[in-house]
Amino acid sequence: MKSFDVNMLIITVICTLITFLERALPFLVFGGKKVPETVRRLGKILPSAIIAALVVYCVKDAAYGFTGDLIPLLVASAVTVGLHLLKGNTFLSIAGGTAVCVLLMNLL
């Protein structure tokens, strides 16, 4: 078992600081003064845009390689969105979609 050393400490500090600064940057740039109108509007439309990008991010490997996981992922996605449009129950939509995904990936 390796023990903690100065090298690891420095790496941990660098990664912690960089990660925090990156997350803090919008607050540092726009925090003190009035937020510009364009950025405010961007803040309103960006959430759905980022989430859409994150959905692609979640399936990136299957989508890029057209692997066997792609069809289970697409079917489970359709089930999730369908359940949510029909019932509007977050827990049901997530549990239903995940169950379909697990079943398809393990049975197909």
Residues within the interface to other proteins (CB under 8 A): 1-2, 4, 7-8, 10-12, 14-16, 18-20, 22-27, 30-31, 35, 38-61, 63-64, 72-73, 76-77, 80-81, 84-85, 90-91, 93-94, 97-98, 101-106
Q: How far is the CB of 107 from other proteins (least distance, A)?
A: 10
Q: How far is the CB of 6 from other proteins (least distance, A)?
A: 11
On whether the CB atoms of residues 100 and 76 are closer than 8 A, the answer is yes
CA pair distance 57, 72, nearest whole angstrom:
16
CA 105 to chain centre: 21
Q: How far is the CB of 11 from other proteins (least distance, A)?
A: 5
Return the closest-CA partner of residue 76 out of 57, 55, 61, 51. Answer: 55
- Sorted by sequence, the CB contacts under 8 Å of residue 36 that are 6+ apart come out as 30
Q: How far is the CB of 78 from other proteins (least distance, A)?
A: 9
CA pair distance 93, 79, nearest whole angstrom:
8
